[in-house]
């Protein structure tokens, strides 16, 4: 069964450093998403991406964050200068339609900012 | 705005007990509704979905019926197993005008004891 692949599974970084989280969505999907889950809290939408541009973003997705699909297969989330409160599990997801029929999530990257 | 409310956890049951996890939603238009499951240390997996009123989603013995009149999508299982221990998230995908980003409830942790 096709799956969404995320790397790395766990990343530890120092406060103020830049991190790039990587995702390989399902190959024929057109819509891509990043969500995050701070430990013990609910899953929160960050951003959606379609046709090589951001289609929607939440208040969490401020200027520190950016997304890119550099080569037609990878989908990346960059955090420019990490803060302690960026520590969370980050999930990538993709869908073949506007999401009404479900998303496929990756297994997540646990980001720890120290 | 659109929102999802699900019952607070944790829920602790004995094996073979009946499970109900309540979920209600607020949405404009006609959302699609989902239940996702997160097993310990893993990512989000789609458990079941319903895309229109009166649809019943089912998978692995779990069921949920899309009730427009009560704006509910309660998750049920007749006989739970220890392996069902996980966090369950109710979610909706708005319809029309949205790129389909998911709105999650806070999650309900289920523990099943042998």
Measured between beta carbons, the chain B residues lying within 8 angstroms of A33 are: 101-102
Q: Among A95, A101, A107, whose Cβ lies nearest the Cβ of B51?
A: A101
CB contact under 8 A, A48 and B99: yes
Cβ(B46)–Cβ(B38) under 8 Å? no
Chain B residue closest in CA terms to A108 = B43
- Chain segment A83-93, per-residue pLDDT in tens: 999 999 999 99
Measured between beta carbons, the chain B residues lying within 8 angstroms of A44 are: 104
Sign of CA dihedral B69, B38, B104, A102: negative
Cβ(B35)–Cβ(B47) under 8 Å? yes
* B53 in contact with A, Cβ within 8 Å: no
* A25 in contact with B, Cβ within 8 Å: no
3-state DSSP helix/strand/coil percent for chain B, to nearest 5? 5, 50, 45
Four-point Cα dihedral B75, A95, B95, B5, nearest 10: 30
CB contact under 8 A, B32 and A99: yes
Which residues, numbered 54 to 93 in chain B, qualify as contacts with chain A under a Cβ-Cβ cut-off of 8 Å? 89, 91, 93
- Chain segment B10-20, per-residue pLDDT in tens: 999 999 999 99
Print pLDDT tens along chain A (114 aa): 778 999 999 999 999 999 999 999 998 888 999 999 998 888 999 999 999 999 989 999 999 999 999 888 899 999 999 999 999 999 999 988 765 667 889 999 999 999
Best of B1, B44, B64 to substitute, by most chain A Cβ atoms within 10 angstroms, is B44
* Minimal C-alpha gap between B17 and chain A (Å): 26
> pLDDT at residue B97 above 50?
no
């Amino acid at each position: 069964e096709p799956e969404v692949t995320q790397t790395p599974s766990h990343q530890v970084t120092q406060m103020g450093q830049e991190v790039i989280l990587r995702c390989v969505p399902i190959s024929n999907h057109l819509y891509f998403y990043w969500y995050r889950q701070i430990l013990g809290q609910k899953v929160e939408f960050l951003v959606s991406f379609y046709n090589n541009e951001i289609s929607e973003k939440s208040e969490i997705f401020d200027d520190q964050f950016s997304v890119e699909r550099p080569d037609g297969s990878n989908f990346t989330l960059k955090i420019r200068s990490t803060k302690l409160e960026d520590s969370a599990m980050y999930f990538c997801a993709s869908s073949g339609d506007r999401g009404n029929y479900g998303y496929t999530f990756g297994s997540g990257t646990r980001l720890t900012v120290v | 705005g659109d929102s999802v409310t699900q019952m607070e956890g944790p829920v602790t049951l004995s094996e073979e007990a009946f499970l109900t996890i309540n979920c209600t939603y607020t949405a404009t238009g006609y959302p699609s509704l989902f239940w996702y499951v997160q097993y310990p240390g893993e990512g989000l997996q789609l458990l079941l979905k319903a895309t229109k009123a009166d649809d019943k989603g089912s998978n692995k013995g779990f069921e949920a019926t899309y009730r427009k009149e009560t704006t509910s999508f309660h998750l049920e299982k007749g006989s739970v197993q220890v392996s069902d221990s996980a966090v369950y998230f109710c979610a909706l995908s708005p319809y029309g005008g949205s790129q389909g980003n998911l709105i999650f409830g806070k999650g309900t942790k289920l523990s099943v004891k042998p």
